[in-house]
Each structure stands twice: as structure tokens, then as C-alpha cells.
Amino acid sequence: MDDDKYPPESDRRRFVKGVVGSAALAGVATTGGAAIDTLTAPSGEGGGATTYFGFENTGGPAPRGMPQIPVEIDSEGFVRGVFPEYETRTVGGREVDVAETEIAGETYSARWFQYCGVQTYAGILPDADQDNYFRYASSSPYDWQGDLSGRMHVDDFEEVGESYEAWGNGIGQSGLGKPARGTWRSEGIKAAETMPVEVIRSPIIEEKAQDDEWLAATTDRGVAARLNKCTHFCCVPGFKAQGDAANFGAADRIYCQCHQSVYDPFTVVKTQFTALPRPGN
């Protein structure tokens, strides 16, 4: 008999195991053959010590920043996230699918997003048949999104409601940037495996990208994006999404209402964590 509280086919079971596994692996050393061997064993693919760029954690229990998604805007103005293509490599005498590329001299990898159960989502697996466009979420705390659906367009942040340079919703200071809730690499996938994102177009990001090689390469026209899962316990934070954010000094920050973790939406830092392995073949 399976002693797990949730049945084998349960999405809840997968989520709980992902959260518990993430917490356990947070304490694994980033060096040492035993740890690396465990994370690349046949039971899983592509985990291990990972360096990434994320939006800086500035308060609360979250152990690290939320991972940035590099952004590009196509010739028609639609906004998409960059996702590295998978290729097969031989690691430790066996073939492993690896998704990574170089941006501004840094290694960008699908491992950045392998936490909180996302490592099991269909959209992150090597055989995913997905484009990389951000699409508006069906529900959002931001009134300006209204009935918008389909792919995000850069002009929406300028022309729908207030401009991103002036937008405000009564939480904190106006004019810092305009956020939108969306999904990524999740078309036709069940809700439990939707990859949530938050996209912000901000004059602050535009200005910082003038003097920052990484931001210049990974943002576009002031548009920046992140996987919107709190690194503490996988909740869904937001920039100016919760009125009580001001009580925790986060009115102008990304705030997670579950346990009061706070992130800086305009500061991207280089850091490390232990990525969870994808399911093995």
C-alpha cells in the first residue's frame, strides 16, 4: 500500500513532493560527487547546483530571488520569453537532455525554473510543443488587464489604460512600472501545470538597461519578466497586487502575502540554488 497521503496520480501529491524536495535540497552542498550523482541519476534529469539571475529577495523568509525570464519582442510587438533549446549530451557515460545557451557571457538554463514542482511541468520538458509567447492570465489583480487575452503586446502597456510611465493603482508610488499577469509555455496544458509569470514594463528598467550589459540583453523596451513562484513556499506574489504590502515596506516591491517575502522588481542579481531534477525517461 502506498503510504503517501495523496494517491500516485494526484497533482496535489506531486506538488507536495516538489515543495518538500525543494526544501530538503536547499541544504545540499553545491559541491561534492554524491550530491551531483544523486541529482543526475536515472530517476531524474538535469538537476544540481545552478547559478542564475533573479529578482533580489530583500525581506521575509524567501531564501533567494525569483528567477528572471529573458525577454524579447518580435517584429510585430508581441512579447515572449527566451527558452533555450534542448540538446542531447553525454554526462557520466549516459545521454542527458540539456537546455542552456549563452546570453551576455552568462549561461542561461532551463534549470533556473526547476523548483516548486515546475521541474515536472509539461512546458519545461524536452518534448514540449510550445511557443515562447507570454499570454494574459484568465484572472489578474490588475484592473487594466480587463478582458485582454491571448499574447501580450508591448503596446498594451502604453495604450491600454494609463501608460506604464504613469500607471498606478493606489498602492505605493505611481509611475514606477505597469505589471501584467500571464502564463508561459502552457498552451493546452492543464491548469495545475501552468507556468505563471508576471511581466512588468518600467521606465526604471529602461534606464538601468542603458548601463547594465545583462539587463540590456535580457529586457526589451523596459519589459522584464519572471517566473512568478515565491522561492519560500511556492505562493504567487505580485508587484502592487496586495493592499497590505505597505504594512511590510513593500508597497513598491514584489510582495508575497502568504508569508511576507519581499523582492525588488528593479534589481536583478546573480545567485545560486540547487535545481530539482526533471522526471527521468
To which residue does cell 542552456 refer? 100
CA–CA distance, 239 with 224 (Å, rounded to integer): 12
Is residue 132 classed exposed, middle or buried when 0-12, 13-18 and 19+ CB atoms within 10 A define those classes? Answer: middle
pLDDT in tens, 90-122: 878 888 888 999 999 999 999 999 999 999 999
The span from the CA of 262 to the CA of 246, in Å, is 11
What is residue 22's predicted lDDT score, i.e. its pLDDT? 44
pTM to 2 decimals? Answer: 0.85
Q: Cite the DSSP H helix spans in the chain.
A: 11-25, 33-39, 156-159, 203-209, 213-218
Give the least confident one: 25-29, 71-75, 98-102, 197-201: 25-29
How confident is the model over 224-258, as pLDDT tens digits?
Answer: 999 999 999 999 999 999 999 999 999 999 999 99
The DSSP 8-state label assigned to residue 248 in this structure reads: G
Q: Is the pLDDT of residue 133 over 70?
A: yes
For residue 133, the cross-strand partners are 80
pLDDT tier for residue 34 given thresholds of 50, 70 and 90 = very low
Percentage helix, strand, coil for the chain under 3-state DSSP, each rounded to 5: 20, 35, 45
Q: Return the DSSP state at 257.
A: T
pLDDT score recorded for residue 15: 40
Determine phi and psi for 171, rounding to 5 degrees: -105, 115
So what's the pLDDT on residue 114? 97
CA distances from 272 to 13, 15, 62, 191, 213 (A): 27, 22, 13, 29, 20
Q: Give ∠ CA 107-225-167 in degrees, rounded to 5.
A: 150
CA distance linking residue 169 with residue 148, whole number of Å = 18
What per-residue confidence (pLDDT) applies to 91?
79
* Burial track 212-244 (b if 16+ CB lie within 10 A, e otherwise): eebbebbbbbbbbbbbbbbbbbbbebbbbbbee
Helix/strand/coil for 208: helix
Identify whether the C-beta of residue 272 lies closer than 8 Å to the C-beta of residue 109.
no
What is d(CA 111, CA 140) in angstroms, rounded to the nearest whole number? Answer: 27
Q: What is the pLDDT of residue 52?
A: 98
> What CA–CA distance (Å, rounded) separates 202 from 71?
13
Does residue 134 surpass a pLDDT of 80?
yes
Whether the Cβ atoms of residue 133 and residue 197 lie closer than 8 Å to each other: no
Q: Are residues 42 and 275 in contact, defined by beta-carbon separation less than 8 angstroms?
A: no
Query: Is residue 271 very low, low, confident or very high in pLDDT (cuts 50, 70, 90)?
Result: very high
Average predicted confidence (pLDDT) for the chain: 87
d(CA 10, CA 32): 34
The residue ranges of every structural domain in the chain are 11-279
Sheet (strand 94-103) strand order = 86-91, 94-103, 106-109
> How confident is the model at residue 44, as a pLDDT?
61
